[in-house]
């Protein structure tokens, strides 16, 4: 096992211990944190798993633990698709496991509100206030038979819609005009308990801060980062609204994608998502079930030793971005299987944002496959078809490995006249494209015009690829705790400082080779100073992108920025907060290791 994989296993093991300890600690005191409970006779049968959460408007810790516990309960089946957890299909869930109960309490109110969450879609289908239960119009037919049957003395005769358009109409305001945040959540619960138990504005706050935050890491981060500001409330921006409106559509594209290229791009804010390595998908925690997994796809299997280390509660952090799949053999019916309208067709972009093409567009057998500048015109010759059998095809011929040893060249070849093992490829969730037979990775040793080769997988930026048709630059601000952004000092150092709009030294460009580059120095890459896990001296700095490619490959995963080789994450050093230093450190779960991408429009 390579050193990067060994470190990854250690990291995942430590994360498992950390998350479990956090959850257990959180269950000790229900006044500030959460408890895991079973629905008792007060709330009726069946005995649904549940969570109790007391809103603390002064700290995001209890909120964060509540979201983590709900995610754990929702992902107990351990099924993933293209590296993203997927919820169960509705007919596969028995009534006894269909719901999770979430009781939200606010200090000073006479009681809390208990919400019923559908495990197949994270929808809130109904809730209990005192002795009255309320159901939304979209609740499943049997919800009234199953939920709050003992505790409720009466059921509200009206069923309001939980559809966003209807809720906005009833609230008299769009989502973008309704503040969110911990104070807003507390106010919503007070309103439901004391004055207006069917208040649409309160429904909008609860649904977004619970259901949407569970679905998307990015939305949870909005709440967590706002909680530390002087004003802990925020208004949803266009990107957040797009995320909420497109959860089902994104789920479908992920589930029907081959080699991670979407059949239909989806615009989220200022980003166009057309593959599973996009920032949108990195900020997504759960998918809605849309169709059953194809019987064969291009996702790379994981080593059995990793599988054993990953099974268990609280291990979701970082898991899906390491090129891993822990899907159990799916039980599926042919009519439920994802239907591919056509093999996906896209560019393959890699080192320095260059595209893969056949040299000179000469498709004679054994002609080299090279990197070249991505073409805005005559780009059809840079498009590749990703087939479900593992072949990658351009103009009827296959991307082929000339051998099974390191430094073997990559060529174009007639698919049927070369050994089958030469033309079968696998793409990992982290963007490594490997020959199935040898396990060697597609490698760009040099830049434009040079032939691609196979090399041992060392998690370097020279081995990172994206199947995409988006060739326009992706520029972002990288925002951390207390509204501080990562900035480039003009030399080789990076720090954090207060975020400033349109400040060029806080703008970073995300490349398809998984590098992060300041727009003022596009030949410079964000890098580790060393792979040594030193608590104080492993700084984050800038280095030339041609050197030490393992130091430059970063994965955005559930709020963290992780170096794929070392499994260390970018950490704002709290030992020297005044200086704003950045270091690489093992994942600990603090907000000083959580970062949000703000796209430059």
Residues labelled catalytic: 123, 164, 212, 215
User: Angle at Cα 442 formed by Cα 425 and Cα 81, nearest 5°?
Assistant: 45
Please say whether the beta carbons of 40 and 32 come within 8 A.
no
Q: Write the burial class of residue 567 (CB in 10 Å: 0-12 exposed, 13-18 middle, 19+ buried).
A: buried
CA–CA dist 300, 316 (Å, integer):
18
Please say whether the beta carbons of 183 and 227 come within 8 A.
no
Q: Where are the beta strands (DSSP E) in 137-260?
A: 154-155
The answer, yes or no, to whether the previous bond of 593 is cis (omega within 30 of 0) is no
Rounded alpha-carbon distances, angstroms, from residue 439 to 2, 150, 489, 513, 527: 13, 58, 40, 19, 26
- For residue 180, what are the β-bridge partners? 234
CA–CA dist 375, 349 (Å, integer):
11
Tokens 């498009």 appear where?
A: 383
Nearest alpha-carbon partner for 52 in 25, 71, 33: 33
CA–CA dist 382, 348 (Å, integer):
8
Sign of the four-CA dihedral 152, 154, 159, 161: negative
Please say whether the beta carbons of 306 and 315 come within 8 A.
no
H or E segment to which residue 596 belongs: strand 596-599
Nearest alpha-carbon partner for 463 in 490, 440, 486: 440
Sign of the four-CA dihedral 80, 84, 90, 96: positive
Tokens of 578: 């005044």
For every residue of 197-217, DSSP letters joined together read TT-HHHHHHHHIIIIIHHHBH
> How long a stretch of residues is the chain?
601
CA–CA dist 283, 597 (Å, integer):
10
Tokens 């580790």 appear where?
A: 528
User: Angle at Cα 59 formed by Cα 54 and Cα 62, nearest 5°?
Assistant: 40
Q: For 95, phi and psi rounded to 5 degrees?
A: -55, -35
């Amino acid at each position: 096992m390579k050193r990067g994989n060994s470190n990854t296993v250690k990291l995942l093991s430590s994360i498992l211990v950390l998350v479990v300890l956090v959850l257990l600690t959180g269950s000790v005191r229900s006044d500030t944190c959460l408890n895991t409970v079973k629905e008792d006779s007060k709330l009726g049968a069946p005995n649904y798993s549940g969570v109790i959460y007391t809103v603390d408007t002064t700290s995001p810790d209890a909120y964060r633990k509540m979201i983590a516990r709900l995610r754990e309960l929702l992902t107990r089946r351990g099924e993933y698709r293209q590296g993203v957890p997927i919820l169960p299909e509705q007919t596969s869930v028995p009534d006894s496991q269909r719901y999770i109960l979430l009781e939200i309490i606010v200090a000073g109110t006479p009681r809390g509100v208990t919400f019923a969450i559908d495990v197949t879609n994270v929808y809130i289908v109904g809730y209990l206030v005192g002795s009255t239960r309320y159901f939304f119009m979209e609740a499943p037919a049997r919800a009234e038979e199953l939920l709050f049957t003992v505790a409720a003395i009466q059921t509200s005769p009206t069923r309001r819609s939980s559809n966003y358009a209807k809720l906005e109409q009833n609230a008299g305001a769009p989502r973008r005009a309704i503040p969110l945040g911990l104070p807003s959540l507390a106010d919503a619960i007070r309103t439901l308990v004391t004055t207006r138990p069917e208040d649409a504005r309160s429904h909008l706050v609860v649904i977004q801060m619970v259901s949407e935050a569970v679905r998307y890491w990015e939305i949870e981060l909005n709440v967590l980062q706002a909680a530390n500001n002087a004003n802990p409330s925020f208004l949803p921006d266009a990107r957040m609204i797009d995320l909420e409106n497109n959860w089902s559509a994104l789920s479908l594209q992920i589930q029907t994608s081959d080699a991670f290229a979407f059949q239909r791009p989806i615009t989220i804010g200022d980003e166009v998502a057309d593959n599973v390595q996009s920032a949108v998908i990195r900020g997504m925690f759960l998918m809605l079930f849309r169709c059953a997994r194809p019987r064969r796809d291009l996702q790379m299997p994981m080593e059995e030793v990793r599988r054993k280390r990953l099974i268990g509660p609280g291990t979701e952090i970082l898991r899906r971005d390491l090129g891993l799949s822990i899907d159990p053999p799916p039980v599926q019916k042919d009519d439920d299987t994802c239907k591919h309208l056509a093999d996906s067709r896209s560019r393959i972009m890699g080192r320095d944002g260059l595209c893969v093409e056949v040299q000179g567009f000469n498709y004679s057998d054994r002609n080299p496959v090279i990197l070249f500048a991505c073409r805005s015109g005559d780009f059809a010759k840079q498009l590749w078809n990703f087939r479900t059998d593992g072949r990658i095809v351009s103009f009827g011929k296959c991307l082929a490995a000339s051998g099974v040893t390191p430094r073997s060249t990559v060529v174009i070849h007639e698919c049927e006249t070369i050994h089958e093992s030469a033309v079968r490829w696998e793409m990992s969730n982290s963007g490594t494209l490997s020959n199935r037979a040898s396990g060697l990775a597609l490698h760009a040793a040099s830049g434009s015009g040079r032939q691609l080769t196979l090399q041992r997988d060392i998690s370097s930026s020279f081995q990172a690829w994206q199947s995409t048709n988006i060739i326009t630059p992706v520029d972002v601000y990288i925002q951390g705790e207390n509204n501080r952004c990562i900035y480039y000092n003009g030399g080789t150092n990076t720090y954090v400082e207060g975020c400033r709009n349109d400040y060029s030294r806080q703008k970073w460009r995300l490349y398809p080779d998984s590098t992060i580059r300041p727009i003022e120095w596009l030949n410079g890459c964000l890098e580790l100073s060393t792979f040594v896990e030193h608590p104080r001296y492993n700084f984050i700095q800038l280095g030339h992108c041609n050197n030490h490619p393992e130091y430059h490959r970063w994965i955005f995963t559930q709020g963290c920025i992780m170096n794929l080789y070392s499994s260390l994450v970018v950490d704002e050093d709290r030992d020297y907060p005044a200086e704003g230093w950045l270091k690489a450190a093992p994942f600990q779960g603090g907000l000083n290791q959580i970062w949000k991408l703000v796209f430059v429009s």
